[in-house]
Amino acid sequence: MGGVLGLVQVDQSTVAIKETFGKFNEVLEPGCHFLPWCIGQRIVGYLSLRVKQLDVRCETKTKDNVFVTVVASVQYRALVDKASDAFYKLSNTKQQIQSYVFDVLDDAFVQKDDIAKAVEEELEKAMSMYGYEIVQTLIVDIEPDVHVKRAMNEINAASRMRSAANDKAEAEKILQIKRAEGEAESKYLAGVGIARQRQAIVDGLRDSVLAFSENVPGTTAKDIMDMVLVTQYFDTMKEIGASSKSSSVFIPHGPGAVKDVASQIRDGLLQANTL
């Protein structure tokens, strides 16, 4: 922008305000213009048509009487066809926009979309008479009061702790159920194994008695059972002695005690059968 010998250059996205003897004459658009200085014409100022941005911080109160700080970002620009209004009617454009934003936020609820829409509509109506267009209004931040923020954080923390406690309790419940089901299955399988083991022992004893009776004439089933019981008794003693973790066991032991052992085992089995 400048002038030499009455020539004035107006840059792109800018307009110049021309007066004649102190009175507004016209708006000069971008380009080169000739001003005859002899008849009192002069350029009194320039107006940018570029989009500008103003960030406004305003403390307001919600419908729940909670104080919050709202940060609004207003984008605006001067209109070419109203450049004279924009140049003459406002001495401080930013201060005027800020005042309107404060007025709107005093009555707005704290919802970003609602606030942005309300601010943009009110500013558009108010600033158009001054030759400015509101391009866009954004609510970039809503900051609650420090005490409110602390209370909200405590509420959120308590909620997360309750949720974590519920999840932990549910996990422990599932573990206990699975543990109980595992123990029940284990006991069932152990019972099945013991039953099969006892059945195998009974079948083996029966086969032994039959085979011994056939090969040794004159022996009775009682004689064979006594011999089997004594054999099992000595096998048990052998296993106890071979185990490194077994404790010492003192029982009557001798040639005459073998008959007593067989008799005791047989009597125990007979008593069990009669119960």
Give yes or no: residues 123 and 203 share one domain.
no
What does the pLDDT read at residue 118?
77
Give yes or no: residues 73 and 127 share one domain.
yes
Mark the ranges of the chain whose per-residue pLDDT is less than 70.
1-5, 37-38, 60-66, 105-113, 140-141, 144-153, 155-157, 205, 212-213, 216-219, 221-227, 241, 243-275
Give yes or no: residues 165 and 91 share one domain.
no
What does the pLDDT read at residue 36?
72
The answer to the question of residue 1 being in a domain is no
DSSP the chain: -EEETTEEEE-TTEEEEEEETTEEEEEEPSEEEE--GGGTEEEEEEEE-S-EEEEEEEEEE-TTS-EEEEEEEEEEEE-GGGHHHHHHT-S-HHHHHHHHHHHHHTT--S-HHHHHHHHHHHHHHHHHTTTEEEEEEEEEEEEE-HHHHHHHHHHHHHHHHHHHHHHHHHHHHHHHHHHHHHHHHHHHHHHHHHHHHHHHHHHHHHHHHHHHHHHSTT--HHHHHHHHHHHHHHHHHHHHHH-TTPPP-----SHHHHHHHHHHHHHHHHHHHH-
Residue range of the domain that includes 188:
146-217
The answer to the question of residue 272 being in a domain is no
Give yes or no: residues 175 and 234 share one domain.
no
Give yes or no: residues 167 and 226 share one domain.
no
Structure token pair of residue 248: 């010492």
- Domain's final residue, options 93, 115, 144: 144
Give yes or no: residues 184 and 227 share one domain.
no
Contact 56, 98 (CB under 8 A): yes
The answer to the question of residue 268 being in a domain is no
What does the pLDDT read at residue 274?
53
Give yes or no: residues 150 and 140 share one domain.
no
What does the pLDDT read at residue 179?
86
What does the pLDDT read at residue 4?
45
The answer to the question of residue 117 being in a domain is yes
Give yes or no: residues 19 and 92 share one domain.
no
The dihedrals phi and psi of 76, each to the nearest 5 degrees, come to: -145, 165
Give yes or no: residues 75 and 135 share one domain.
yes
Give yes or no: residues 25 and 58 share one domain.
no
For the chain, what is the domain count?
Answer: 4
Please state the pTM of the whole predicted model.
Answer: 0.45
Give yes or no: residues 116 and 162 share one domain.
no
Burial of 9 (0-12, 13-18, 19+ CB in 10 A): middle
What does the pLDDT read at residue 102?
78
What does the pLDDT read at residue 184?
86
Give yes or no: residues 114 and 65 share one domain.
yes
